[in-house]
Amino acid sequence: IKDDHIFYVDTSLAPEKAAIEYKKAIDTHFKGEDLVFDLILLGMGDDAHTASIFPNTSLVKDEEVNVASVFVEKLNTYRVSFTAPLINKAENIAFLVFGENKAEAIKHVIGDEQKDFDLYPSQLIAPIDGKLTFFTDEAATKLLEE
């Protein structure tokens, strides 16, 4: 990957300012065109968070195609994250989910017909025109029904 295709969040800035500057860098790279990434790789926490979209935080309800800052109370820190609408514009989205501690989360994210985004934010990830792929191990999927 070329260096000019890698963007870093400036952690020396206040979180809100860092999110704004990061979004500006991405906008500049895309030269005003639609923000559609070729590939976004995501992990999933045992609480079903992804990116820094944690359960019961403001980013769960954020409907803007944006980069945003959010305070994550359980971690007592701010995070900078893509919003779900920005992630969902990608051509390809891949979740990398490994370990038995993720089994309950992935059961709800993949298996629940009735969605609860506040509890399971990874359920927000649903590509608009792209492809969603899960890379897992057996331990992470042990609670999924055949």
Report the chain's mean pLDDT, rounded to a whole number.
95
Give the contacts of 51 (CB within 8 A, at least 6 positions apart). Answer: 42, 59, 81, 82, 84, 87
* pLDDT score of 7: 85
> Can you give the residue ranges of every domain in the chain?
9-136
* pLDDT score of 121: 98
More confident residue, 48 or 1: 48
Find the mean pLDDT for residues 111-129: 97
- Give 101-116 as a DSSP string: GGHHHHHHHHH-SS--
Residue linked to tokens 């989205």 = 93
If DSSP codes are grouped into helix, strand and coil, which group holds residue 27?
A: helix
Q: Please name the helix (run of DSSP H) or strand (run of DSSP E) that holds residue 67, with its range, or none.
A: strand 67-72
C-alpha 123/C-alpha 101 separation (Å) is 18
Q: Which class in CATH covers the domain with range 9-136? A: alpha beta
Question: 86 pLDDT band (50/70/90 cuts)?
Answer: very high
Question: For residue 59, how many other CB atoms are within 10 A of its CB?
Answer: 22
Q: Does residue 146 surpass a pLDDT of 90?
A: no
pLDDT tens per residue across span 33-82: 999 999 999 999 999 999 999 999 999 999 999 999 999 999 999 999 99
